[in-house]
């Protein structure tokens, strides 16, 4: 009896050790593919994040007078209280026009290799200049923006403090650089998955760990890797099977418009999946509201795999562990308009 | 010689004493007519401001899903970073429609006797229900709002915590009560004028004090008095001389639509003047951008007085001392939509 018990103990001990080995192995695999969101904003080449510049960037991010209507700010579509976007299939812009694609989250966007669904902006500063000028978004011009900023003495002072070496710091480019500086602070560390990566085994449930293993083994991680679980490379949407026109509208041909290369037709950036549970609806078309459904679409279109319900649920459960701490943002107090501030454009035309 | 000097000293001493008496007299007159903005939110009858309710109210104030488009929140038109309003003549709402009147500031609105330019809402809770339902503003319905809130478990929990004695706390009325609780905290104490009222003589310059004296002596204070310098009573716009149709559009007949009383034609609330330098453009029509111009219009239309440039400038300089400390607002993190959250209405129709 004594021997039997002792044998049982050994067996249990081995099983536990073996289970621990498997657990460590999964973590090691995960650490080789992914990385945690840092707790501090990353360094940006050519854009030192001074407190003055970050604060100015925050003001500009919330500044509706960067739009010609004085209604729309960056935060309108990249709402810091709503997962860094707007919970809309496509955004509503100037004159209530619809944007062409789903607004990506601003959270952790600094970790993407390039910006926009087609990667047409090299960085966040370049990105910031797009919507300000787009006719369907903020519908302004660089000249109008500079005139607006120059009309408010507080902005002039803040640009001087943010770009102390420049003789004429109030520029459209510097507006974008300051916005980039603020956006670089909008990161979401401490997700349960990141705690797991760091060694806290019980940060994930067993279902979530199985979801992680499936995410790697089924091939999701081939495109969705790194700090941001995506945002680095471009792939045809419909790598294996092209999804329906409701999800992949034929009129939006993706990255081919940027590169003029035939093989880039219907090519889009692999979406970053950090905080994915906060960023419905999904895909560049914003056509799918349900995360489970989006995972299933990815299985068939990109992997050629019909994921069963249990697999979809486990992968989705895992994806929900990518939600980090939302950055605290104190609403900035914007300077008052002056007599020389360009007036909002006549709204009667819209 | 000694006697002469001593006589001169007495004269100077008397002049100083007399100047001090005049200064104290002006302050005493001001204290009899006006009152400082308190440093703490006031008590509201029937609405105890618990931290839970104020926080819920803040979330709802920033909640664009209270609008059927999911684009427009209270903060869109009553922007806490822009003087509590939107710097627009009239607001832009659902489908890019224009509202009928200039959006009043939310700051210190709790001190108004009633809400809206025509006083049609008795309090902030009643007010909050208006724009949510107005077709040109947020274009939602009480049923849609309740369905939206009930679709997110965090809101249900927060309504329970905010209204602990109610069996079914997630109601349209309680939404409004919570918003009122938050808005009651949006007060701006410590204006230079309030420091002056409390006894700090050099909080105002001599020009500003002369402006204060003019504000009282010319009759402005007859309508613009109390904590909020207005917001208590209703007067015909054009009490003496009706302003032009650009400022008083004939199609908006004011309070008569509320009271059905002929004498209320073109009657509007005396605008509260706290933070007036932050709330251009002016009047219910939002037709006048310049504060000096608005003061001059008031002189002719309400007082029958052609104020000269110096008087206008001094009164305006005084009005600029009514700007208080802007409340610090941490952007709320809103719950994520769920499968049962009503979707944004189809935007194609607009």
| B313 touches A255 (CB < 8 A) | no
Residue A86 and residue B65: Cβ atoms within 8 Å?
A: no
The percent of residues above 70 in pLDDT, for chain A, comes to 93
CA–CA dist A276, A298 (Å, integer): 14
To the nearest whole Å, the CA of B148 is away from the closest chain A CA by 13
B206 CB neighbour count, 10 Å cutoff: 10
In chain A, residues with a C-beta closer than 8 Å to the C-beta of B80 are 331
Q: Identify residues of A whose CB sits under 8 angstroms from chain B CBs.
A: 62, 64-65, 69-71, 76, 79-83, 86-89, 92, 95-96, 98, 277-278, 280, 289-290, 326, 328-334, 336-337, 339, 343-344, 347-348, 350
**Among all chains, which residue has been given the structure tokens 């932050």?**
B278
Give ∠ CA B111-B114-B115 in degrees, rounded to 5.
95
Residues 6+ apart with CB under 8 A from A285: A89, A90, A101, A102, A246, A247, A248, A249, A252
| Binding-site residues of B | 74, 77-78, 94, 220, 223-224, 298
> Was A298 annotated as part of a binding site?
yes
For chain A, the structural domain boundaries read 21-39+189-321, 51-185
Contact B277 A336 (CB under 8 A): yes
User: Is A78 annotated to bind ligand?
Assistant: yes
Known active-site residue B277: no
Look at B92 and A62 and tell me if their CB atoms are within 8 Å: no
Identical fold, A21-39+189-321 and A51-185: yes
Are residues B288 and B294 in contact, defined by beta-carbon separation less than 8 angstroms?
yes
Q: Which helix (H) or strand (E) holds A235?
A: strand A234-236
pLDDT of residue A23: 75
* Regions of chain B with pLDDT less than 70: 1-18, 346-350
Residue with tokens 């939002």: B286
Contact B189, B228 (CB under 8 A): no
What pLDDT, on the 0 to 100 scale, is given for residue A328? 98
**pLDDT score of A210 more than 60:** yes
Residue A22 in this model has a pLDDT that exceeds 80: no
| Beta-carbon separation of A64 and B86 below 8 A | yes
pLDDT band at A4 (very low <50, low <70, confident <90, very high): low
Q: Is A77 one of the annotated binding-site residues?
A: yes
Report how far apart the first and last C-alpha atoms of chain B are (Å, whole number). 88
Helix (H) or strand (E) holding B129: helix B124-133
- Quick check: A87 and B326 CB within 8 A? no
Return phi, psi of residue A231, to 5°: 80, 10
Statement: residue A348 has pLDDT above 60: no
Q: What is B21-39+189-321's CATH number, 1.10.760.10, 3.90.550.10, 3.90.76.10, 3.20.20.70?
A: 1.10.760.10
- The CATH superfamily of A51-185 is Cytochrome c-like domain (1.10.760.10)
For residue A282, pLDDT over 60 is answered with: yes
Which listed residue (B52, B137, B183, B208) is catalytic? B137
**CB nearest A278 (choices: B89, B336, B343):** B336
User: Tens digit of pLDDT for each residue in A212-235?
Assistant: 999 999 999 999 999 999 999 999
The per-residue pLDDT for range A29-69, each reduced to its tens digit, is: 999 999 999 999 999 999 999 999 999 999 999 999 999 99
Give B195→chain A minimum CA distance, Å. Answer: 22
Residue A349: band (very low, low, confident or very high) from pLDDT cuts 50, 70, 90? very low
| pLDDT confidence tier of residue A350, bands split at 50, 70 and 90 | very low
CB contact under 8 A, B289 and A334: no
Cβ proximity of A149 and A178 under 8 Å: no
Distance from the A81 Cα atom to the nearest Cα atom in chain B, whole angstroms: 4
Q: How confident is the model at residue A249 (pLDDT cuts 50, 70, 90)?
A: very high
A:B CB pairs within 8 Å? 93
Confidence of residue A297 (pLDDT cuts 50, 70, 90): very high
CA–CA separation, B32 and A73 (whole Å): 43
Chain B residues touching A331 at Cβ < 8 A = 80-81, 328-331
Residues in chain B with CB shorter than 8 Å from the CB of A350 are 96
The reported pLDDT for the residue numbered A13 is: 57
Instruction: Choose the closest CB to B70 out of A71, A88, A290.
Output: A88
- Residue of chain A minimizing CA distance to B68: A88
Spatial CA neighbour of A109 closest among A195, A230, A282 = A230
- Supply the ipTM of this predicted assembly: 0.91
Q: How far is B262 from chain A (nearest CA, A)?
A: 31
Q: How far is B327 from chain A (nearest CA, A)?
A: 9
pLDDT one-digit tens code per residue, A64-106: 999 999 999 999 999 999 999 999 999 999 999 999 999 999 9
Specify the DSSP class assigned to residue B269.
E
């Amino acid at each position: 009896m004594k021997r039997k018990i002792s044998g049982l103990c050994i067996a249990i001990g081995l099983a536990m050790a073996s289970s621990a080995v498997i657990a460590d192995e999964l973590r090691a695999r995960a650490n080789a593919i992914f990385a945690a969101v840092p707790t501090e904003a990353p360094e940006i080449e050519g854009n030192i994040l001074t407190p003055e510049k970050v604060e100015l960037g925050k003001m500009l991010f919330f500044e509706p007078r960067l739009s010609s209507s004085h209604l729309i700010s960056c935060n309108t579509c990249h709402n810091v209280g709503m997962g860094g976007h707007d919970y809309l299939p496509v955004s509503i812009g100037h004159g209530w026009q619809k944007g062409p694609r789903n607004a990506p989250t601003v959270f952790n966007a600094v970790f993407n290799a390039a910006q926009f669904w087609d990667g047409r902006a090299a960085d966040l500063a370049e990105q910031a200049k797009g919507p300000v000028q787009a006719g369907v978004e903020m519908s302004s011009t660089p000249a109008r923006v500079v005139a607006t900023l120059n009309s408010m003495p507080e902005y002039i002072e803040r640009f001087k403090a943010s770009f102390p070496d420049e003789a004429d710091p109030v520029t459209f480019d510097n507006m974008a650089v300051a916005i980039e500086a603020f956006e670089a602070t909008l990161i979401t560390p401490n997700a349960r998955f990141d705690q797991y990566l760091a060694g806290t085994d019980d940060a994930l449930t067993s279902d979530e760990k199985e979801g992680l293993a499936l995410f790697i083994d089924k091939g999701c991680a081939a495109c969705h890797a790194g700090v941001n679980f995506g945002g680095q490379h471009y792939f045809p949407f419909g790598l294996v099977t092209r999804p329906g026109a409701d999800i992949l509208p034929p009129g939006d041909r993706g990255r081919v418009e940027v590169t003029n290369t035939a093989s880039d037709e219907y090519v889009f950036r692999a979406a970053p999946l950090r905080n994915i549970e906060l960023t419905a609806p999904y895909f560049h078309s914003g056509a799918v509201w349900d995360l489970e459904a989006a995972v299933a679409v990815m299985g068939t279109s990109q992997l050629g795999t019909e994921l069963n319900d249990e697999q979809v649920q486990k992968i989705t459960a895992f994806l929900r562990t990518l939600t980090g701490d939302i950055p605290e943002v104190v609403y900035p107090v914007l300077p008052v308009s002056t007599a020389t501030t360009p007036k909002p454009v006549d709204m009667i035309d819209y």
